[in-house]
């Protein structure tokens, strides 16, 4: 600098800090560039990363927060709000039925902008993402012309998750998924600013399409011709973990399970040898919630402390939530008789020290397909991935899977269809020998059947709304759990009456 000044013949004027004449253009250019850079960076941050808190009503009560509160999934897994909004208008034929996203069996409360478990949050621009409540909210009705009752932390037995995953990818693959078409449709519903229009057209739409198409590879097993669809209310959780979290190559396993209930989560006590998930893959609720939330985020959390605080809130919330009471009449005298049957034939597993622990497959005899989707090595690998994010948790069980958890039966009336893979439509059917249980039925319809205790699984409406479950197909077997199937009919009826009270 010194040398340059000396060599410079131009007068620097009175300002000792003024640059020498010969270099003034450079300084101006640099300053302008710097200013433009700062402005662009700010604009980029503002338009793509700036996080705005959700409106106050979302977090006003714990219920609202559970249903609509962001858990941070918008950053990496969010879909731009306006794209999400117009897709069903452009591609209605790719959805399972009429009525837009509602045809996916989401829990949609009257007057709400988005279904339960769908969040709207601005990260640069408004985005839509999901929470636990998308899969863990149950719905039931007593008649088809009644509004559904939504039960928080219940099993999302109506949700057609596979159809949702496939829908987004199928849209992105369609040549009509382009900026011209999407912008034209967006223009019909909102007026974006000039800058937003540019951003949507040249960045947000193409990037969204690219991201969705990238997922296609990871979802390849959903498109296999030789695999049956999951059907409503099921997802292939451990394969999702394998292909998304630890990014293993695809294998031939398929083991979709029912969405479980989360109410009364405090019943699980790892100190008593209890395990989580249908096959006892995980040590404790804290770990399962972390892993589930990471699945939703689709990436490492931005801030581990914030993330773990969110996890603890969720755990506290669902731990304290009671199982819902059976909403129809119960014959108390008969239920009393049923309790004696239960104590004699069921309590050894379902109301004892064995409850919540793994029963060997040979003893329970149900389908093994779910066990084959996961193994010890996968558990080690997944635990490593989470550890490397700087998150400490007891984690997944690093042992071979041996069987299924003897289920807690609280709120069992609302957890149909039954067994881990949802292969038995009603409690009454579960008390029939496997060969006499329905081999095909329709699942995902939410009108309740208080006689057989479960949902209605046949008839025009059930077939229109539901998906067909065929117990002969991979992952769908209804064998095993023959306990109580040899009882006299009167005992079975009494037992079912008692199960309604749990």
Give me the residues that bind ligand HEC (CB under 6 A), please. 130, 132, 134-136, 161, 235, 237, 257, 259-260, 262, 265, 276-278, 285, 288-289, 292-293, 296, 314, 345-346, 348-350, 359, 363-364, 366, 404, 406-407, 412, 415, 418-420, 427, 430, 481, 483-484, 495
- Whichever of 259 and 456 has its CB closer to ligand HEC, that residue is 259
Minimum CB separation from ligand HEC for residue 292, in Å?
Answer: 3
Minimum CB separation from ligand HEC for residue 406, in Å?
Answer: 4
Minimum CB separation from ligand HEC for residue 276, in Å?
Answer: 4
Distance CA 430, CA 437 (A): 7
Provide φ and ψ at 256, rounded to 5°.
-65, 140
Virtual torsion, Cα 207, 77, 126, 44, nearest 10 deg? -50
- Whichever of 24 and 302 has its CB closer to ligand HEC, that residue is 302
- Whichever of 124 and 454 has its CB closer to ligand HEC, that residue is 454
Minimal CA–CA distance to 76: which of 47, 49, 43?
Answer: 49
Minimum CB separation from ligand HEC for residue 296, in Å?
Answer: 6
Cβ atoms < 10 Å from Cβ of 56: 8
Distance CA 263, CA 380 (A): 29
Q: Tell me how far apart the terminal alpha carbons of the chain are, to the nearest angstrom.
A: 84
Distance CA 215, CA 483 (A): 42
Distance CA 454, CA 457 (A): 9
- Whichever of 186 and 238 has its CB closer to ligand HEC, that residue is 238
Minimum CB separation from ligand HEC for residue 314, in Å?
Answer: 5
* Count of CA atoms in the C-beta half-sphere (13 A) of 7: 6
Distance CA 219, CA 281 (A): 22
Distance CA 433, CA 425 (A): 13
Minimum CB separation from ligand HEC for residue 289, in Å?
Answer: 4
117, 135 Cβ separation under 8 angstroms: yes
Structure tokens at 165: 């995953």
User: What burial letters (b/e) apply to 376-389, b meaning 16+ CB within 10 Å?
Assistant: eebbebbbebbeee
Minimum CB separation from ligand HEC for residue 252, in Å?
Answer: 18
Distance CA 257, CA 420 (A): 5
- Whichever of 22 and 486 has its CB closer to ligand HEC, that residue is 486
- Whichever of 75 and 125 has its CB closer to ligand HEC, that residue is 75
Structure tokens at 403: 């069987």
Distance CA 494, CA 384 (A): 49
- Whichever of 177 and 404 has its CB closer to ligand HEC, that residue is 404
Minimum CB separation from ligand HEC for residue 279, in Å?
Answer: 6
Virtual torsion, Cα 312, 73, 139, 104, nearest 10 deg? -160
- Whichever of 86 and 258 has its CB closer to ligand HEC, that residue is 258
Distance CA 105, CA 449 (A): 19
Minimum CB separation from ligand HEC for residue 331, in Å?
Answer: 17
Structure tokens at 173: 């693959």
Distance CA 103, CA 88 (A): 10
Minimum CB separation from ligand HEC for residue 320, in Å?
Answer: 14
Distance CA 325, CA 411 (A): 7
- Whichever of 82 and 441 has its CB closer to ligand HEC, that residue is 441
Angle, alpha carbons 451-142-479 (nearest 5°)? 45
Task: Report the length, in residues, of the chain.
Answer: 502
- Whichever of 196 and 363 has its CB closer to ligand HEC, that residue is 363
Cα–chain-centroid distance for residue 331? 37
Minimum CB separation from ligand HEC for residue 318, in Å?
Answer: 7
Minimum CB separation from ligand HEC for residue 50, in Å?
Answer: 25
- Whichever of 349 and 397 has its CB closer to ligand HEC, that residue is 349
- Whichever of 10 and 322 has its CB closer to ligand HEC, that residue is 322
């Amino acid at each position: 600098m010194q040398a340059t000044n000396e060599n410079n013949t131009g007068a620097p004027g009175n300002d000792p800090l003024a640059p020498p004449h010969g270099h003034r253009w450079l300084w101006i250019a640099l300053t302008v560039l710097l200013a433009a850079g700062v402005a662009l960076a700010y604009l980029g941050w503002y338009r793509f990363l700036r996080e705005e808190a959700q409106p106050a009503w979302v977090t006003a009560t714990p219920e609202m927060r559970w249903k609509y509160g962001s858990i941070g999934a918008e950053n990496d897994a969010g879909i731009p709000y306006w794209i999400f909004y117009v897709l069903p208008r452009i591609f209605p034929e790719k959805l399972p039925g009429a009525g837009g996203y509602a045809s996916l069996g989401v829990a949609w409360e009257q007057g709400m902008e988005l279904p339960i478990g769908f969040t709207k949050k601005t990260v640069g621009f408004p985005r839509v993402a999901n929470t636990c409540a998308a899969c863990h909210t149950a719905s039931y009705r007593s008649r088809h012309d009644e509004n559904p009752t939504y039960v928080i932390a219940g099993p999302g037995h109506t949700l057609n998750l596979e159809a949702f995953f496939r829908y987004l990818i199928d849209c992105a693959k369609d040549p009509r998924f382009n900026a011209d078409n999407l912008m034209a449709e967006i223009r019909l519903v909102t007026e974006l600013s000039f800058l937003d229009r540019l951003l949507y057209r040249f960045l947000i739409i193409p990037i969204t399409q690219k991201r969705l198409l990238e997922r296609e590879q990871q979802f390849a097993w959903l498109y296999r011709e030789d695999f049956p669809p999951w059907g409503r209310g099921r997802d292939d959780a451990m394969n999702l973990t394998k292909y998304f979290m630890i990014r293993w190559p695809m294998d031939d396993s398929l083991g979709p399970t029912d969405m479980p209930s989360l109410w009364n989560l405090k019943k699980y006590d790892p100190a008593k040898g209890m395990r989580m998930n249908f096959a006892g893959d995980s040590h404790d609720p804290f770990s399962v919630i972390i892993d589930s939330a990471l699945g939703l985020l689709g990436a490492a959390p931005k801030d581990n402390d914030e993330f773990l605080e969110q996890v603890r809130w969720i755990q506290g919330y669902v731990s304290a939530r009671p199982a819902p009471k059976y909403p129809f009449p119960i014959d108390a005298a008969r239920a009393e008789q049923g309790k004696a049957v239960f104590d004699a034939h069921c309590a050894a597993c379902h109301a004892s020290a064995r409850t919540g622990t793994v029963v060997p497959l040979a003893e329970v005899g149900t389908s093994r397909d779910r066990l084959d989707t996961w193994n010890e090595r996968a558990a080690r690998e997944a635990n490593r991935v989470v550890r490397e994010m700087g998150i400490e948790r007891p984690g997944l069980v690093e042992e071979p899977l041996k069987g299924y958890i003897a289920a807690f039966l609280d709120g069992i009336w609302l957890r149909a269809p039954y067994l881990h893979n949802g292969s038995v439509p009603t409690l009454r059917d579960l008390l029939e020998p496997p060969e006499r249980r329905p081999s095909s039925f329709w699942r995902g319809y939410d009108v309740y059947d208080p006689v057989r205790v479960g949902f209605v699984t046949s008839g025009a409406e059930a077939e229109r709304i539901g998906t067909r479950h065929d117990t002969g197909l991979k992952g769908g077997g209804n064998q095993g759990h023959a306990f109580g199937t040899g009882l006299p009919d009167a005992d079975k009826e009494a037992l079912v009456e008692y199960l309604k009270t749990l």
